[in-house]
A and B are shown apart, each in its own frame.
Chain A
Amino acid sequence: NAGVTQTPKFRILKIGQSMTLQCTQDMNHNYMYWYRQDPGMGLKLIYYSVGAGITDKGEVPNGYNVSRSTTEDFPLRLELAAPSQTSVYFCASSRDRSTDTQYFGPGTRLTVL
């Protein structure tokens, strides 16, 4: 049981490039989330999903897109990378509502130059 896994661990992008951050969970959780953590700050919710085929915006969705075709996977897409997207990205999942304990992946450190 691996929990929540994220790839890659680190990535450097040039301004305007695109990339997809992968997130997979093997706990059969319905809810999944993407957060970003800027230096010295708490986490902010980007997008979340309450089940396959259903996604919704969080607090800071601009510049990102998500999809949820399966229960296990919840990729985050950056279409036109900007320096403001330099951050650490965390994926998380919970069994039911977000009031349940959220289990986090190890994070992806992204730098946009």
Chain B
Amino acid sequence: AQTVTQSQPEMSVQEAETVTLSCTYDTSENNYYLFWYKQPPSRQMILVIRQEAYKQQNATENRFSVNFQKAAKSFSLKISDSQLGDTAMYFCAFNDAGNMLTFGGGTRLMVKP
């Protein structure tokens, strides 16, 4: 079974600064997909960014980018120019091209003014 580990339960960052959230996963598959989801206090799960393992180029979405290290099985999320609205739980998730999305335990990010 695949596992996803987020080793930072909580993090904080000053507004306008950059923060990196860590995620590692364990799999024997070669083709898979990785995701970062954001869950603000409203509880709504929102997709932040998606990475396909066969693509070597790191995905970016505006202020959000990933550092995908396939050999190390690492998938970190970098948030640039942090904003107060980025305060949320962030979940890393993995799918091995099957039907099950496996989530990590989450990192609570607080952006301070």
Contact = CB atoms under 8 A, between A and B. Distances in A.
A79 to B, nearest CB: 24
- The size bracket of the interface on A is 20 to 34
A74 interface: no
Given A42-B104, A43-B91, A101-B50, A107 B43 contact: yes
A103 B45 CA distance: 8
Contacts of A75: none
Contacts of A22: none
Contacts of A40: 105-106
B76 interface: no
Given A41-B105, A42-B91, A43-B91, A106 B42 contact: yes
A98 B95 contact: yes
Contacts of B47: 101-103
A42 B106 contact: yes
Contact of B99 (A41, A44, A50): A50
B96 to A, nearest CB: 9
Contacts of A97: 97, 99
Contact of A58 (B33, B100, B106): B100
Contacts of A31: 99
Contacts of B4: 42
Contacts of B101: 33, 43, 45, 98, 102
Interface of B: 4, 33, 35, 42-47, 50, 91, 93, 95, 97-101, 103-106
What are the 4 A-B residue pairs with the smallest beta carbon separation, nearest first?
A: A42-B103, A104-B45, A99-B33, A43-B103
Given A42-B106, A102-B47, 9 more contacts: A42-B104, A42-B105, A43-B101, A48-B100, A59-B100, A97-B99, A99-B33, A104-B45, A106-B43
